[in-house]
Amino acid sequence: MGQSTQDDRHTQLTKRREQLRISQKAYRNRKRGEYNRLQKRVDELENGVQEINDAFLDISKLLLDTNAIQTRPYLASALREVTRQCLSLAELVQTPTSASSQDSTENASNHSDCVHLNDSADHPDAG
């Protein structure tokens, strides 16, 4: 009887270990799946920020190219404020490994310089 009890315990222990391995594998798979889902969402959001930034730069360039800022000085201050907001948001999504986010921030920063050059449009006598 001693051998049978020992075999039963060994079998139970083996089954328990197998059950734990299966549970751990399932947990790792769920964790990996959740990580992949979140990474995909981050990528989608970063792409969205990039698209918004590109659209903002396009409309800003249009305003500058058509001299709308020179003829409507209030647009310069509004454009500067929106530029600050875009830069702030771009910094939130910028990561060391994300070259596209860094490019967005650099582009917006370059645009900010353009808006800064047009500050005199806000003040007609500064001209």
Helix H, strand E, coil C: the string for the chain is CHHHHHHHHHHHHHHHHHHHHHHHHHHHHHHHHHHHHHHHHHHHHHHHHHHHHHHHHHHHHHHHHCCHHHHCHHHHHHHHHHHHHHHHHHHHHCCCCCHHHHHHHHHHHHHHHHHHHCHHHHCHHHC
What pLDDT is attached to residue 121?
40
**Domain ranges (residues) in the chain:** 3-94
What digits encode the pLDDT tens for the residues 36-53? 999 999 999 989 988 988
What pLDDT is attached to residue 49?
86
pTM: 0.57
What digits encode the pLDDT tens for the residues 57-106? 899 899 889 988 888 888 888 989 998 988 888 788 775 554 444 554 45
